[in-house]
Amino acid sequence: MSSRELLEIDPLELKFPFELKKQISCSIQLTNKSDDYVAFKVKTTSPKKYCVRPNAGIVQPRSTCDVIVTMQAQREAPPDMQCKDKFLLQSVVVNQGVSVKDITQEMFAKESGNVVDEVKLRVLYVSPPQPPSPVPEGSEEDSSPRPSVSDNGNSNASELLAAARAYAEDIQQGKSSENLTLISRLTEEKNTAIQQNNKLRQELELVRREVSKQQGGFSFLFVVIIALLGIFLGCMLKK
């Protein structure tokens, strides 16, 4: 920095990552390394295209000040992305106690005998930052395969299907066990019923035989009685 430069300016080129229809900003840092109070003012060749905040101010001794330059959204890109816009930063030493409201255009007029430091700043359009590209397959950084979303979906679907099948098999096994128990119980009841039926048939046969015997004895006795009555009546008639 020469003896005439009151403020250290960083950067000396304003780089805007140009994008159509988008407002873009960049910053300038002013550093006062002296023991003086320095007033500054920022001018541009395209005041309607840029907004500078603050465009004027006081930088106290051994301090810094940040200036934000905003380019309005552009509808068309310049030929070959070349920009001819320029900025001029003027600075002058002022007395302590001077405020921003006290800054006037006459303070930066060299014709009045003021020692004015002037620095021109260029404007450059640069390409906007590109998003990070994906890591190519088979790279050394990460050679392990990564499951894709579809793989995860298929894996989850397979697990769900296996769980559903296992659940269905459990249900079927439970039903088979219940069916076997039911069949065994019904078979046992059927055998018991058959045994009882056979027993009833046997008892019924015995009862039938006893009834037949009783009916046969009654008939013979009745015949004997009738015969005796016939003989008795015959003897009476003979008398």
Give the CA angle between residues 72, 74, 79 to the nearest 5°: 130
* pLDDT bracket for residue 202 (50, 70, 90): confident
Interval 184-208 mean pLDDT: 79
Predicted local confidence at residue 201, as pLDDT: 81
Mean pLDDT of 189-210: 79
pLDDT in tens, 205-217: 887 787 677 665 5
For residue 118, give the nearest of 221, 222, 29, 43 by alpha carbon. 43
Q: What is the pLDDT of residues 147-181, one digit of tens each?
A: 554 445 555 566 667 766 776 676 666 555 666 77
- CB within 8 A of 63, min separation 6: which ones? 31, 32
Q: Using 50, 70 and 90 to split pLDDT, how confident is the model at 193?
A: confident
State the pLDDT at residue 149.
Answer: 45
Model confidence at 125: pLDDT above 90 = yes
pLDDT at 150: 47
Do residues 23 and 75 lie in contact, with contact meaning Cβ atoms separated by under 8 Å?
A: no
pLDDT tens-place string over residues 16-63: 999 999 999 999 999 999 999 999 999 999 999 999 999 999 999 999
- Burial readout 116-140 (b: 16 or more C-beta within 10 A, e: otherwise): bbebebebebeeeeeeeeeeeeeee
Q: Which residue has the higher pLDDT, 182 or 234?
A: 182
Categorize the per-residue pLDDT at 219 as very low, low, confident or very high, splitting at 50, 70 and 90: low
* Alpha carbons 113 and 65: distance in angstroms, whole number: 26
Rounded mean pLDDT of 86-102?
95
- What pLDDT does 2 receive? 45
